[in-house]
């Protein structure tokens, strides 16, 4: 498991933003698996980061979130992406592809629902509407009453 698999998705994308914003300075390769760098953060002093790509949990950063813990923080991710820009591109492309697929799935589902509703019998539509009104959220119920002038007490 690499650093990417060990981090949260929030830290992954914040780390990606840090990488894109070039907040990683003085990147040094220590050996085949370890890199050190300084990362500009919210404090005036940059954070000192060491990442180990084959043993992610031994990576270190002196930010409050990760200091003394076995957490993979956004600064480590930023260092990782700076050391491996192709990996950053791959993760980003994967994410975009996933987003596009998700959008396409939603569109297909909307089309399916529309087609289905248009071929329903009137009595089926009425039954479904009543279920939505009585089992659905209150605002929906109230909106229906208001829009169809069904409650004299409202005025």
> 3-state DSSP call for residue 35?
strand
Residue 37 touches Zn ion, criterion: CB under 5 A = no
Number of residues located near Zn ion, criterion CB under 5 A: 5
In the list 51, 56, 75, 80, the residue contacting Zn ion (rule: CB under 5 A) is: 75
What minimum distance in Å lies between the beta carbon of 69 and Zn ion? Answer: 10
CA distance 128 to 21: 51
Are 61 and 47 a contacting pair, CB within 8 Å?
yes
Distance between CA atoms of 78 and 10, rounded to whole angstroms? 13
Q: Helix, strand, or coil here: 50? A: strand
| Least spacing, CB of residue 70 vs Zn ion, in Å | 12
Site residues (CB under 5 A) for Zn ion, limited to 83-142: none
Closest distance to Zn ion from the beta carbon of 26 (Å): 15
**Residue 43 in tokens:** 């404090």
Minimum CB distance to Zn ion, residue 111 (Å):
45
Asked if residue 72 binds Zn ion (CB under 5 A), the reply is: no
86 — phi, psi (to 5°)?
-65, -35
Q: Which of 71, 133 has the CB closer to Zn ion?
A: 71
> What character string, x for contact with Zn ion (CB under 5 A) and - otherwise, covers 41-70?
--------------------x-x--x----
Compute CA distances 32 → 82, 121, 148, whole Å. Answer: 15, 68, 71
Which residues in this chain contact Zn ion in the complex, by CB under 5 A? 61, 63, 66, 73, 75
């Amino acid at each position: 498991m690499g650093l990417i698999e060990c981090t949260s998705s929030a830290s992954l994308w914040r780390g990606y933003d840090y990488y894109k914003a070039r907040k990683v300075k003085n990147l040094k390769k220590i050996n085949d698996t370890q890199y050190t760098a300084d990362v500009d953060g919210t404090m005036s002093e940059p954070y000192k980061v060491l990442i180990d790509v084959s043993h992610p949990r031994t990576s270190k950063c002196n930010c409050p979130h990760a200091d003394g813990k076995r957490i993979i923080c956004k600064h480590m991710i930023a260092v990782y992406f700076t050391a491996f820009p192709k990996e950053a591109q791959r993760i980003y492309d994967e994410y975009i592809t996933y987003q596009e697929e998700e959008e396409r799935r939603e569109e297909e589902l909307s089309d399916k629902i529309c087609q289905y509703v248009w071929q329903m019998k009137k009595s089926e539509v009425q039954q479904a509407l009543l279920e939505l009104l009585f089992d659905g959220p209150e605002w929906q119920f109230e909106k229906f009453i208001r829009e169809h002038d069904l409650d004299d007490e409202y005025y």
